[in-house]
Structure 1
């Protein structure tokens, strides 16, 4: 039997394996030790769907060759995000055209997708996107619903944004840093708004600020763990935790002080302080 990974034959000793499932279980563990995962599989030159199980029972005597596509964790995440994004693009089309057969099939697939969406969205301890999505679609996918179609478009957009953060983390982090530095110039105004009863206007800016900060932090998390990256992440996480606590307490004075004296100077310095490279492969 010939086993190849990314078109290169490997020396892999079989022991007590009886079928394709046994072999792949061992290879999966072996690859994970190197930070890799299986992205594609061919047995006897025939592509096998990883989300199905029929091929696992193929007896070892019937296998001449196994070909595996191995991906890094980041490459694997990008592929998952692309698949999830494309799911919602298909959903929008099916809703708009009222294709009931496709909607039924997509709803079956949605059950599996829901299991990995929290992982893909990476919202942190207080998720909002998936709970909202489940509420919108709690009674299934309905055709010709403009609201449902709009939700599908929004989800595809969110997942595409996550894909960019993962696929090109350095450029996305730098772009977010530039936006944050520009927003920082108006944080003095937000502090004043909080003190003069303009809470709604101030909170709109704070919400937008935290959204961009989360994008920035997610992008940084995919970069190589250099001292510069870790220093930025640790510092921003500390300040964000303080801001979150102040928001929970409704302490407008502390919120204003944090924005003006802690967060603003850090954001202004962000673009020039990002002394790292790599991660856009």
Structure 2
């Protein structure tokens, strides 16, 4: 059997692999070490569906003459797949709003597969805040009801789809421009420090909603920084593992910061304004200042 990788012959020794599924698994492991993934696969000039291996994984390789593998950088594949997800969700939302039941029904046949891709390719913080899978039942309810009469989707469903699209777009920007996106996040973070120093005062003067919104925004900004900081360091020719922030290895520092935010969230739930003020002034702000100082030194 001839194996071509990106149209170039591969010198590969088969050791006990008798079925196509075993060959592909070995190729995936080998490519992963080089940060590549398989994008397309052909068996004797016929395309193979990589998303469903049930029809080909047990194929005896003795009956295969040529296997053509197209591989791309994992980050490139992720970028392309996220773009496809954003387009799909936008088209689905528009079809539903326009009452195009035929197009919406066609698109919905792929919804579970898109949901799987969304959950596997998006950062976990996005999946938690905008889970696509919780929309499945509501979308199918709309599909059932609109088959009887032309009903528009609920505003909540439309907004949920729009949030998911915006999350995908943010992730795409982070993949394509990690330094720029990380710089923007740090700029926002620096601008938030004065407000964080006055967090206790906000609560004492009845500005509870303003204080909560500030913390929510801060959580989003820090999530973004934590997603990007490792790559940011790499692109700046620094190793995240070599960095020390407040005499802690960088990863331990982020873990400690995350623990403090969990404590801050609990303080908000119990309306403990004294603890909120103490955590903000003596724990969070000093840590954020140290983080900004380290980033400015890179």
Measured against aligned partners, the alpha-carbon deviations of 1:215-263 in whole angstroms (never above 9, x if no partner) come to 1111225454532399444323312311211321433222222323333
**Where does residue 121 of structure 2 map in the other structure?**
120
State the TM-score, normalized to the length of structure 2.
0.77
- Asked if 1:153 corresponds to 2:162, the answer is yes
Aligned equivalents of 1:101 and 1:162: distance in 2? 30
- Asked if 1:13 corresponds to 2:22, the answer is no
Q: In terms of mean alpha carbon deviation, does 82-91 or 60-69 score higher?
A: 60-69
Aligned equivalents of 2:119 and 2:225: distance in 1? 18
**Where does residue 101 of structure 1 map in the other structure?**
102
**Where does residue 4 of structure 1 map in the other structure?**
4
Change (3 A) 1:58 1:38: same
Matched residue SS, 2:260: helix
- Asked if 1:174 corresponds to 2:183, the answer is yes
**Where does residue 202 of structure 2 map in the other structure?**
193
**Where does residue 30 of structure 1 map in the other structure?**
30
- Asked if 1:213 corresponds to 2:226, the answer is no
RMSD: 3.2
The partner residue of 2:259 within 223, 227, 241 is: 241
* Partners of 1:180 and 1:268 within 8 A in 2: no
The gaps in structure 1 that reach 5 residues or longer are none
**Where does residue 85 of structure 2 map in the other structure?**
84
1:202 shift after superposition: 0.6
Change (3 A) 1:117 1:179: same
Change (3 A) 1:240 1:196: farther
Aligned equivalents of 1:72 and 1:257: distance in 2? 46
* Partners of 2:130 and 2:163 within 8 A in 1: no
Aligned equivalents of 2:96 and 2:297: distance in 1? 44
Change (3 A) 1:155 1:71: same
Number of aligned pairs? 277
1:123 shift after superposition: 3.7
The partner residue of 1:267 within 257, 264, 288 is: 288
